[in-house]
């Protein structure tokens, strides 16, 4: 069983501490939800975990199966089995989505699979996430709607089949059908691959489609509460202040 361990993590951005001593462990097949008010450090945590150069880890460690991966480059962390779906995916003009997907897959799994067969596999997954096949020939996220960007991120996750996936607000900018697709994809990969998840969200609605093991609340860079679904219900009814106090 794989595990992702965060030990006493402290993170700075431009000299300002944004993550202040987080401890968290996620095991294969577990779904952890991370909630919190705006500016609490949720996205900062996700970017620091993946090695974004702007987010400087000043103390603590990130372990994958007890291997210290704290200072690895982002592409090395991806190869080890980490994945991040961005809250606001950026456009990459000039690089076709299909080219990116095949390059990512080959970087992780090697170049042994026939390119034509691999592209056919990609097209099958495209159908599952209800993304237009024509978008494969467009620049990555170029001209995509908000919902299409989210579907493209989930498409990448299903192709790469990571050990652990960090999903930053996967429920933002998607309709009910999109939300159900995302929930189904999370559950599918959990069942087939044992993928563990850290799902960052403001709202409870994504939690109606997946069964969370633990819900955490982050405030001002610190975890202030952890619990079950009752925690999300309390936030829904009374807001974050009821938990933070």
**How far is Cα 73 from Cα 215, in angstroms, rounded to an integer?**
29
Number of domains in the chain: 1
Does the structure show a pLDDT above 90 at 114?
A: no
What is the reported pLDDT for 172? 86
CATH number for the domain including 48? Answer: 3.40.50.300
Task: List 90's β-bridge partners, or say none.
Answer: none
Whether 56 maps to a domain, the answer reads yes
Q: What is the rounded distance in angstroms from the CA atom of residue 5 to the CA atom of residue 64?
A: 6
pLDDT value of position 61: 98
Total length of the chain: 245
The predicted-structure confidence for 65-104, as pLDDT tens digits, reads as follows 999 999 999 999 999 999 999 988 989 999 999 999 999 9
Asked whether the predicted pLDDT for residue 58 surpasses 90, the reply is: yes
* Average pLDDT score over the chain: 94
pLDDT value for 205: 86
Q: Which among 81, 192, 52 has a CA at the least distance from the CA of 128? A: 192
pLDDT greater than 90 at residue 56: yes
Handedness of CA 218, 220, 223, 225 (dihedral sign): negative
Q: Do the domain assignments include residue 27? A: yes
Q: What is the pLDDT of residue 22?
A: 97
Per residue in 156-204, pLDDT tens? 999 999 999 999 999 888 889 999 999 999 999 999 999 999 999 987 8
List beta partners, residue 200. Answer: 34, 168
Residue 135 within any structural domain of the chain: no
CA distance 170 to 55: 22
Domain, as residue range, for 198:
3-87+161-244
Residue 199 domain flag:
yes
Identify the residue whose tokens are 């400087």.
Answer: 56
Q: 69 and 80 in contact (C-beta within 8 Å)? A: yes
What's the average model confidence in pLDDT over 203-211? 89
Highest average pLDDT, of 47-51, 145-149, 231-235, comes from 47-51
Give domain status of residue 215, yes or no.
Answer: yes
In angstroms, the CA 99 to CA 155 distance is 13
């Amino acid at each position: 069983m794989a595990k992702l361990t965060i030990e006493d993590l402290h993170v700075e951005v431009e000299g300002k501490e944004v993550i202040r001593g987080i401890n968290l462990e996620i095991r294969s097949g577990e779904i952890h939800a991370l909630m919190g008010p705006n500016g609490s450090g949720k996205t900062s945590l996700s970017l620091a975990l993946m090695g974004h150069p702007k987010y400087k880890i000043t103390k603590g460690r990130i372990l994958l199966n007890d291997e210290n991966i704290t200072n690895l480059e982002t592409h090395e962390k991806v190869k080890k089995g980490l994945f991040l779906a961005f809250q606001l995916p950026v456009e990459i003009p000039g690089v076709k989505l299909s080219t990116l997907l095949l390059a990512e897959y080959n970087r992780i799994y090697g170049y042994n699979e026939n390119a034509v067969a691999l592209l056919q596999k990609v097209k099958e997954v495209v159908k599952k996430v209800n993304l237009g096949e024509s978008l494969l020939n467009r620049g990555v996220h170029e001209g995509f709607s908000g919902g299409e960007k989210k579907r493209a991120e989930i498409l990448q996750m299903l192709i790469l089949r990571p050990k652990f996936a960090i999903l930053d607000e996967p429920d933002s900018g998607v309709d009910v059908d999109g939300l159900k697709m995302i929930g189904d994809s999370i559950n599918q990969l959990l069942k087939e691959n044992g993928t563990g998840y850290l799902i960052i969200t403001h709202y409870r609605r994504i939690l109606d489609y997946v069964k969370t093991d633990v819900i955490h609340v982050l405030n001002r860079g610190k975890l202030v509460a952890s619990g079950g679904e009752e925690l999300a219900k309390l936030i829904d009814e009374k807001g974050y202040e009821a938990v933070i106090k």
